[in-house]
């Protein structure tokens, strides 16, 4: 059953200061269409590849419907596939509303994400997330990697994650 239906607005009726803007019906429908219905093994493999190539402890594919849905994951610090989190607690939502990749060498010191539960709880220290963009240009989620210690993400690491994000979108579209 889809997580969002056409014509139903996501939570909230308008922008709330300090919180990410609500998703539009078009954005929710675009992401919901891509949520894997029969397991996420290919997405798990792409998340594993991201973590391995970047030397991160975990990687996650998140789709943004009316909630953040984990569509693929690797590592014990990533959410399990199928898990959901509200958009106002979602690192992927911050990626989706950014102008590009979200690079946080020390997430606890980054005002964009420091108050989010994954960061404040200590599960995320260093974070790198890139948007997943559908065929129509709509950002439907994020591919991200995390580490438990501060680290600088190099330009080549950002580029690798962006290339893998394109593969994730291709897999989702299949």
The model's pLDDT over 97-107, given as tens digits with 9 standing for 90+, comes to 998 999 999 99
Query: Residue 84 — φ and ψ, nearest 5°?
Result: -125, 155
Average pLDDT of span 90-111: 96
| Core vs surface per residue 84-100: b (16+ CB within 10 A) or e | bbebbbbbbbbbbbbee
pLDDT value at 87 more than 90: yes
CA distances from 153 to 30, 54, 102 (A): 30, 9, 10
Q: Are 67 and 85 in contact (CB under 8 A)?
A: yes
Enter the tokens of residue 79. Answer: 């959410």
pLDDT value for 76: 79
Q: Are 87 and 93 in contact (CB under 8 A)?
A: yes
pLDDT value at 114 more than 60: yes
Closest among 146, 132, 61 to 98, alpha carbons compared: 132
pLDDT value at 28 more than 90: no
Give the global pTM.
Answer: 0.78
Read out DSSP for 96-131? Answer: HTSSS-EEETTGGG-TTTTTSHHHHTTS-SEEEEEE
Average pLDDT of span 104-121: 96
pLDDT value at 9 more than 50: no
At residue 172 the predicted structure's pLDDT band, cuts being 50, 70 and 90, is: confident
Q: Are 60 and 73 in contact (CB under 8 A)?
A: yes
For 166, the enclosing helix (H) or strand (E) is: helix 155-173
pLDDT value for 153: 97
Query: Residue 134 — φ and ψ, nearest 5°?
Result: -75, 175
Query: d(Cα 29, Cα 12) in Å, to the nearest integer?
Result: 17
Least confident of 1-15, 52-66, 76-90: 1-15
């Amino acid at each position: 059953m889809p997580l969002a239906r056409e014509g139903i607005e996501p939570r909230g009726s308008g922008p709330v200061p300090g919180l990410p803007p609500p998703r539009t019906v078009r954005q929710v429908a675009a992401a919901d269409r891509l949520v894997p219905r029969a397991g996420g093994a290919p997405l798990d493999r792409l998340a594993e590849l991201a973590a391995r190539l970047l030397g991160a402890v975990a990687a996650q594919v998140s789709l943004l419907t009316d909630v953040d849905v984990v569509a693929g994951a690797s590592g014990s610090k990533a959410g399990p596939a199928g898990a959901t989190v509200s958009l106002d607690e979602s690192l992927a939502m911050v990626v989706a509303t950014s102008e590009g990749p979200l690079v946080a060498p020390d997430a606890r010191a980054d005002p964009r994400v420091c108050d989010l539960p994954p960061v404040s709880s200590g599960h995320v220290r260093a974070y790198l997330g890139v948007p997943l963009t559908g065929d129509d240009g709509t950002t439907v989620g994020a591919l991200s990697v995390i580490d438990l210690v501060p680290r600088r993400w190099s330009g080549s690491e950002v580029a690798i994650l962006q290339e893998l994000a394109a593969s994730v979108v291709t897999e989702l579209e299949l």
